[in-house]
Amino acid sequence: MEYFRSGLKSVLGAPPPDQQITGAETVERLVSRVSTSTLLEDRRDACRALKALSKKYRVEVGAHSMDVLKQVLELDRSDCEIIGYCLDTLCNITSKEPFEDENESTLPVNINIGEQFTEMFIKNTENVALVLNFLEEYDFRVRWPAVKLLTSLLANKPKEIQDIILVSPMGVSKLMDLLSESREVIRNDALLLLINLTKSNANIQKIVAFENAFDRLFEVITSEGLTEGGIVVEDCLILMLNLLKNNTSNINFFNEGSYVQKIYPMLILPANIEEIGWSPQKVSNMHCVLQLIRTLVNPNNPVHIITACQKSIRNANILEALCNVLMASGVPADILTETINTVAEIIRGNLTNQEYFANVMAPSTPPRPAIVVLLLSMVNEKQPFQLRCAVLYCFECFVYKNEIGQGQIIQTLLPSSLGTADVTTGQLLCGGLFSNDSLSNWFSAVSLSHCLIDNPAQKEQLLRVMIATNLGTQAVSLLQQNVTYLQQSNRLQSKIGILMLLSMWLAQCQQAVQIFLNISGAMAFLTAQTSASEYDNNEELIQGICAFIMGLCVVFNDNSVQNYSKENLSHLIEKRVGIETYCKKLNEISRHEVYAKAAKQPQVLARHSSDLLLEFEFCKLFKSFEGVIINALGVQRDLHNGISELSLSEHENALLLQYKELIRDQDKKLQDLQKAFTNSQREKDMLKNELEELRQGNSQLNDQNTLLKAQLAANSNSIQTLDNVASPLVESISTAVPYISKNANEEEKQKLIQDLQETKEELDRLRKDQEDLLELLTDQDCKMNVLKNRLRELGEEVDDDSENGSNSENEL
């Protein structure tokens, strides 16, 4: 407020161009006309003029007219025209965006005027309720600007407006009714308003859904032509997304309410899609539909919700429709990518859906399984990076918790099935593993490692896989080839991919460890990497994973390879690497920023291909075996006398882990407490302010009280004097009356009676005044007491001089 006044003063005070003076003066004149004019027509004209000035002279209009505008909204609510002007004016002065012809040269650039005026307007929440009520007025001149004003207020103060609307009964339903508006411009603006209103507020999202939002929105979408429709369709979908994102309750409702089926028609491509092509709007709409589906089956949702949604999505033939999109030609790459990601999450961990997907055939010659066609893209350098990432994700989801699927893929690599006519998934992955494209290497390694997750049988099967490296040379085992590749290659991404594959392979598989230890040079390579003291450019990751693999070889060691028995290996680590160094290397992994990124979600997310280093399932594996490895090395304590963590006894180690856990817990508690503390602090500040306000109110009331007392005293005095004057008069009159009548001096008597009358009246008036004042005084006293009590509640000492008031009352 103050800000504006001073801002305004500077506008008026500075030696300004004439025009500005006139503008400000005009505004003032108009404001006074609105507030004083008794004729509706005059007020209406003035409001119309204010509206016209409210862009150019926004500060002036805002600073001067806020109160009269509110007054009009309340008192003239039956006149749609004037209300329309008012709402429009408010809309302009609270607009978040500056106007082109706005006169703002004299204002500091950084104050957001719209926000300041919004704050002034919503300070009294009744004002917002008032605007909400205008939504019920059918007249276009009122309803439309009411929607726009709410949008503007919301843009400036989202949190506050959300809270106000949330607690105003029927607030949300009034907005929801607008979705059935026949005047499209209102409906569309209401849609935008709802999109902003539902952002990150679960309670509003729930109410909007309860108010049949999904029915309304699907009605609009259908009437607008589904995904062929315009931006309104996109807006409807965005609103739905808002309602569902991270809102389990609404997702459940959406699924239970059979809305999933209504998505299906939006996924059907017209038969002539290749002729008509994909308009930008169609692409946007389709994106939203895909997001909508993904929101339902997002891996972060509770498992039972995911499973239920995956089932209804399949039953509604949506999986089928999406697979058709995958196989259609002419689909833009980004839509294709997102479709693959969507299919991925629909089948993830759901056996029925995975089986369905396994049987989808691509219309190629010869017909190939869709999964093969997809993998072809993954290991093809010419395909867009994001598309390749999506295929990896889809493949991962296809084998996730799918023992049969994992087995089938590995099966295609075994001698028995080699020599089949067409290319297989396994061949593609093995080919990709050692191709010249390091990204293909990485994708293929990760894909293969996912076929091994929690599947010891396949880890053993994979040991049987032989590959021919060069024409004519003898075939070597896949495991051997991996080691050879590691020794020879200097490509970071490829090496990390293969090391992650080895980790997955060796973990929980003693047979694989045994064969690995027998490969000549394997251990030497790992030892050299782990003990290296220098590295550049993410090589610490390679060294870390090498250390990890060494650890796995200790943990899953059946002591069948004499040189590398559990004990010998531990010894090797201690002597050649050093326990300190070893732990440091291991730590490099989880400390690395790519670890934190990859561990966040199953989907591989990266901007650039070089960002792809660690992967989600590897991070999980690392997390679950890091402690185990350290423990296992700790058992060999007698082998050395270091003072590192590893020199601790098993018991001590367990204790250490316990303490680590404890510290983590306490860390979390500390954070929680800090948060709580900040909240309390804020609350305290609020209470302090309130207290201050109350104090001020109190002192004002005290002043008023004193004033009233003084007036009271003065009145009592004058009453006394009047009484003094009156009684002798009355006396003299009573003695005079007989005399007068005797003398029959009518005139004299008349005059005296009149005098008497007047005196009496004066007396009465004063008495009444006194009574009024007394009443007021009592009133004030009550208020004072309330305030004092409130102050006491807030823990404030209050001096108890209220007796004065009651005393003086008693005296009278």
Partner 1 sequence: MSYAYLFKYIIIGDTGVGKSCLLLQFTDKRFQPVHDLTIGVEFGARMITIDSKQIKLQIWDTAGQEAFRSITRSYYRGAAGALLVYDITRRETFNHLTTWLDDARQHSNSNMVIMLIGNKSDLESRREVKKEEGEAFAREHGLVFMETSAKTAANVEEAFINTAKEIYEKIQEGVFDINNEANGIKIGPQHSPTNPSLPGATGSSGSQGGGCC
- Binding-site ranges for partner 1 (CB under 8 A): 166-173, 203, 206-207, 210-212, 215, 248-250, 252-253, 256-258, 261, 311-312, 315-316
For residues 134 and 143, the answer to whether their CB atoms sit within 8 Å is yes
Number of other residues whose CB lies within 10 A of the CB of residue 395:
27
CB of 596 to partner 1, least distance (A): 24
**Which residues lie across from 466 on neighbouring strands?**
477
CB of 181 to partner 1, least distance (A): 16
CB of 177 to partner 1, least distance (A): 9
Q: For residue 155, report the phi and psi dihedrals to the nearest 5 degrees.
A: -65, -35
Q: Which is nearer to partner 1, 170 or 185 (CB)?
A: 170
CB of 216 to partner 1, least distance (A): 10
Cis peptide before 366 (omega within 30 of 0): yes
What does the buried/exposed string (b/e) look like for 543-571 if buried means 16 or more CB atoms within 10 Å of the residue's CB? Answer: bbbbbbbbbbbbbbbeeebeebbbeebbe
Q: Which is nearer to partner 1, 71 or 212 (CB)?
A: 212
**Which residues lie across from 368 on neighbouring strands?**
362
Enumerate residues 6+ apart whose C-beta is below 8 A from 647. Answer: 579, 634, 637, 640, 641
How many residues are present in the chain?
812
CB of 298 to partner 1, least distance (A): 15
Torsion, Cα 783 789 794 800, to 10 degrees, reads 100
CB of 445 to partner 1, least distance (A): 37
CB of 171 to partner 1, least distance (A): 8
Cα separations in angstroms, 465 against 25, 53, 414, 430, 528 = 90, 81, 6, 10, 28
Q: Is 762 exposed, middle or buried (0-12, 13-18, 19+ CB in 10 A)?
A: middle
Q: Which is nearer to partner 1, 252 or 380 (CB)?
A: 252
**Which residues lie across from 362 on neighbouring strands?**
368
CB of 172 to partner 1, least distance (A): 6
Number of other residues whose CB lies within 10 A of the CB of residue 62:
26
What does the buried/exposed string (b/e) look like for 621-649 if buried means 16 or more CB atoms within 10 Å of the residue's CB? Answer: bbeebbeebbbbbbbbbebbeeebbbbbe
For residues 708 and 776, the answer to whether their CB atoms sit within 8 Å is yes
CB of 59 to partner 1, least distance (A): 35
Rounded Cα gap, residues 506 and 552, in angstroms: 7
Q: Which is nearer to partner 1, 84 or 171 (CB)?
A: 171
Structure tokens at 607: 């901007």
Rounded Cα gap, residues 158 and 164, in angstroms: 10
CB of 201 to partner 1, least distance (A): 11
Q: Which is nearer to partner 1, 60 or 211 (CB)?
A: 211
Q: Which is nearer to partner 1, 177 or 809 (CB)?
A: 177
Q: Which is nearer to partner 1, 203 or 538 (CB)?
A: 203
